[in-house]
Structure 1
């Protein structure tokens, strides 16, 4: 194995997932009101689109976990918080996998697979 391979840290994986979701939001006309890149500080994005506020929780998901499955308790808490602002709540799970072998970590400057199906309304 090549010793120069450097696995991405949890924060780097989270930032990559945030960038993927952020680009989608930007392309769909969302206006960013607040961005939080800390993995445990929710929501990661507070956006405005067509005068509607949106709270978006982003999670990077490692193999073999399913990026479509979320922490129900956490999302209900976020939804309750969002309702105080008449905001919609979304979960964005982004699977990030090593392109050569999904059982290996994602390495810096190496190919990876993105498994992302867009925003899931809660």
Structure 2
């Protein structure tokens, strides 16, 4: 049986990144208060750990984009940080780099292997 192979949509890439970050948050003891998977609507996760509120902004970055280049999103992140401060919350940025494992010049496709470049949460101060 042949499996469907097609390029992942922007929403599917975003959901993949959210799953990666959500799993890490769960493993690190965060409890989810709200989850928002809608593209371009921040934050994606509102969660608590040790009674401290956190907002987490998740971005999927396709190769050749660099998930470590936070400056590209600085304006959005600063707005989110300012909003979070009203709730005495911390703000984190989680950029998940994704690339086709067989050919970096091809998009990430459904039912094909991919490589994840994710270094964890970066606090926005």
Stretches of structure 2 lacking an aligned partner (at least 5 in a row): none
In the other structure, the counterpart of 2:38 is 38
Partner of 2:81: 79
Q: Is there any run of 5+ residues in structure 1 with no aligned partner, and where?
A: none
**Contact 1:6–1:107 under 8 Å retained in 2:** yes
After TM superposition, the runs of 4+ consecutive aligned structure 1 residues lying more than 3 A away are none
Task: Compute the RMSD of aligned alpha carbons.
Answer: 0.8
What is the TM-score of this pair, normalised by structure 1? 0.95
**Residue in 2 aligned with 1:61?**
61
Matched residues, number: 119
CA displacement 1:10-40 (0-9 Å, x = unmatched): 0000000000000000000000000000121
1:1-122 equivalences under 5 Å are 5-70=5-70, 71-122=73-124
Shift of 1:69: 1.6
